Amino acid sequence: MKPSAYSLIKADDLAQASAQLAENGWGSKPVAGCQSLGAMLNLRLAQPESLLDLDAFESLRAVTDTGDAIRFGAMTTHAAIEDKRVPDPSQGLMPFVARGIAYRAVRNRGTLGGSLCHADPAADWISTMPLLGATLHVLGPSGQRDIAARDFMTSAYETQLVDGEILVAVSVPKRTTSMQWSYRKLCRKTGELSHAMTSGIRDSSDGTERVVIGALDGAPFVVERAGLMTELLQGAVREQIVRQAAPELELDRRHTLMEMLRLVALDMGKTR
């Protein structure tokens, strides 16, 4: 199908773009790579009045080393991360995740920030950024603010962003070889949005042990505590976590997630 009519608007700078979006209200959306929104436009699941084209803003593509973190411009493409054309703060986790996003032709255009703002529960970065303890930098009509990645998504396709706010960058803390990670998702076909997703990190240098369950009905579920990975080897703990993450889940999906959590815990002992 074809999209319903919309107009494509441009702005001179990000501040103007933000003001324009705030003025236009909910019928106007900023557009980055347009790889998820494009499909929804064609299916008419989304019928915006106007899209604000972010392509012109080179600052959204800048990737900088800020000392203890890598700051990715929101329009860093999945392919740039996959190819390690940008620095990797995550000991190989981010390139691994990037390679599993959709297909190469999509990764060449789709962006980190666009995926986060689209907030499809089954997408990859929306779970990976909370896992890595990332911080999102947002520009809005009332200035800049930072949002912790784990608080960003509120429910399916809903984020904390208000009218006029634009995600400009994402800071991901640097991890050393003391971090181990695991990232598992269940797809029936390579590249499709996942049906179940679990991931975890363990860093012996600062004691971080964190697990994220994604592809739920709403926002990803984050668990973080000392000794978590050892605890996860017990079925009762896994069941408790999965029940907390998704109380209404049917039995087979619950068991799938419990098994995937066990595999995440087992992955921690492996070298990559």
Partner 1 sequence: MSALPITFPEVETTSVELNVNDRCYQLTLQPRTHLADALRDHCGLTATHVGCEQGVCGACTIEVDGAPQRSCLQSAKRFEGRQIRTLEAFDDDPLMAQLRAAFSAEHALQCGYCTPGMLMTARDIVLRLPDADEARVAEELAGNLCRCTGYFGIVRAILRVLRERNSTVSSQEITHAA
Q: Does 8 bind partner 1 (CB under 8 A)?
A: yes
> Count residues contacting partner 1 (CB under 8 A)?
31
Q: Of residues 12, 23, 27, 39, which one binds partner 1 by CB under 8 A?
A: 39
Residues 6 or more apart whose CB falls under 8 angstroms from that of 6 comprise 41, 47, 48, 49, 50, 51
Question: Residue 24 interacts with partner 1 (CB under 8 A)?
Answer: no
Interaction of residue 95 with partner 1, rule CB under 8 A: no
Given phi > 0 = left and psi -120 to 50 = alpha, else beta, which region is 136? beta
CB of 88 to partner 1, least distance (A): 18
Phi first, then psi, for residue 192 (nearest 5°) are -80, 165
Binding mask 42-71 for partner 1 (x = CB under 8 A): xx-------x-x-x----------------
Task: Kindly state the smallest distance separating residue 49's Cβ from partner 1, in Å.
Answer: 11
- Kindly tell me which of 108 and 256 has the beta carbon lying closer to partner 1: 108
Kindly write out the interface string for residues 173-212 of this chain, putting x where it contacts partner 1 by CB under 8 A and - elsewhere. ----------------xxx---------------------
Cβ distance to partner 1 smaller for residue 55 or 146: 55
Q: Cβ closer to partner 1: 1 or 251?
A: 1
Q: Are 54 and 60 in contact (CB under 8 A)?
A: yes
* Range 98-157, binding partner 1 (CB under 8 A): 102-106, 108-109
Strands 63-65 and 69-73: antiparallel
What backbone torsions phi and psi does residue 126 show, to the nearest 5 degrees?
A: -65, -25
Question: Applying CB under 8 A, which residues contact partner 1?
Answer: 1-8, 31, 34-35, 38-39, 41-43, 51, 53, 55, 79, 83, 102-106, 108-109, 189-191
